[in-house]
Amino acid sequence: MPISRAEIVTDSGEKLINRLCKHWAHKLEVEQEGEEGRITFDNGSCLLRAEEGKLKVAVESLDEEGLDRLEGVVASHLERMSGKESLDIIWEN
């Protein structure tokens, strides 16, 4: 399974995880505990972990096309949930 990771500089990591998990909980399988979250999509999953000054995100999918889609979906939702804070999201695989 292809995997991409991003390390995003932010002091709002835990808040972003909380918002994302609440947003998707009504239609996807979501697990959240403290500073970690996991969202399971039809074609893959997203793992989130808040650390001091950063948010670590990993997405995995069944294939490269699905991975590209998940990167876009997760990034756009993170940007939307961040409000006025600008996030620099660079995926590495």
pLDDT for residue 34: 87
Per-residue pLDDT in tens (0 to 9) along the chain, 93 residues: 899 999 999 999 999 999 999 999 999 999 999 899 999 999 999 999 999 999 999 999 999 999 999 999 999 999 999 988 999 999 998
CB atoms within 10 A of CB 10: 18
DSSP the chain: --EEEEEEE-S-HHHHHHHHHHHHTTTSEEEEETTEEEEEETTEEEEEEEETTEEEEEEEESSHHHHHHHHHHHHHHHHHHTTT-------B-
Query: Which CATH number covers residue 67?
Result: 3.30.310.50
The answer to whether 57 and 8 have CB atoms below 8 angstroms apart is yes
| Within a domain: 62 | yes
pLDDT score, position 1: 85
Q: Note down the domain range covering 36.
A: 3-82
